[in-house]
Amino acid sequence: MQNQNHFAEINFEDHDQLSAEERAVISSSLQQFQKGESSEGRHLYAFAKEFSDPEYLECIKLFIREEQQHAAVLASFMKKFQIPLIKGHWVDHVFRWLRKTGGIQNTLNILLIAEIIAKVYYRALHHATESVLLKRICLQILSDEEEHIRFQCDMLKIFHSRQSRLTNLINRNFQLFLMTGTALIVWCYHRRVLKQGGYYFGKYFLESLLIFFEAEKDIKSRKSFFKKRKMIAT
Ligand SMILES: [Fe+2]
Ligand SMILES: [Fe+2]
């Protein structure tokens, strides 16, 4: 994560097209993802403060800012093509509630699932759209989400290394249950975009699980992607 606007070079005044058919396919899906990306991150920031690590807190600030940028560019794109923003969606409400339930480990686990789903979704959207602007937005979001996954894993491996094998096993099974459930719900609401992008159910579901298993492997590896960090919960 870097302290800069990754989307600064995208000019929404540039000529771009969105056919009526494509608009019909992506509108409601884009509305939900735009809403999902927008969060003030207050709870996450409050949780992150529990760790006496200013570097981590700084990373969390940048992370929240990046997610807000995702929401802002999607909103600009939607505005250009008169797709209205939505105030809420029950899936988003449930996700926000889940993120706030439990401690920071739970929040990071839920965020990780959201990042994994985003990675598959924006790949599909990139293939589904003919819009040059939306393709560029998807590519930049994908690059950011890749880093977000590593970032969440990096922190989760600290919890993993501290907990007993049994606790890790219970957490892992719960996480797999949530991952599977989320992937199914997302399929129900976004399958038109996913299919348009070449992601039929089998491919979508398998790819989501593969990314989940890769992240799991990364968490167990305990090799830190970001600089060595000593996290001491206060
Ligand atoms: Fe995002
Ligand atoms: Fe993200």
Query: Quick one: which ligand is closest to 69's CA?
Result: 1
133: pLDDT confidence band, cut at 50, 70 and 90? very high
Cα of 168 from ligand 2 centre, angstroms: 24
Among residues 145, 141, 163, 143, the alpha carbon closest in space to that of 153 is found at: 145
pLDDT, tens digit (0-9, with 9 covering 90-100), for 182-198: 999 999 999 999 999 99
- The pTM of the full predicted model, rounded to 2 decimals, is 0.91
Cα of 165 from ligand 1 centre, angstroms: 32
Cα of 94 from ligand 2 centre, angstroms: 17
Domains of the chain: 20-221 (1.20.1260.10)
d(CA 198, CA 195): 5
Is the separation of the CB atoms in 196 and 24 below 8 Å? Answer: no
165: pLDDT confidence band, cut at 50, 70 and 90? very high
Is the separation of the CB atoms in 150 and 225 below 8 Å? Answer: yes
Cα of 220 from ligand 1 centre, angstroms: 24
Cα of 138 from ligand 2 centre, angstroms: 12
Cα of 150 from ligand 2 centre, angstroms: 10
Percent of the chain topping pLDDT 90: 67
Query: Quick one: which ligand is closest to 114's CA?
Result: 2
Query: Quick one: which ligand is closest to 140's CA?
Result: 1
Coil vs helix vs strand at 32? helix
Expressed in angstroms, the distance from the first to the final Cα of the chain is 25
d(CA 216, CA 212): 6
Cα of 36 from ligand 1 centre, angstroms: 8
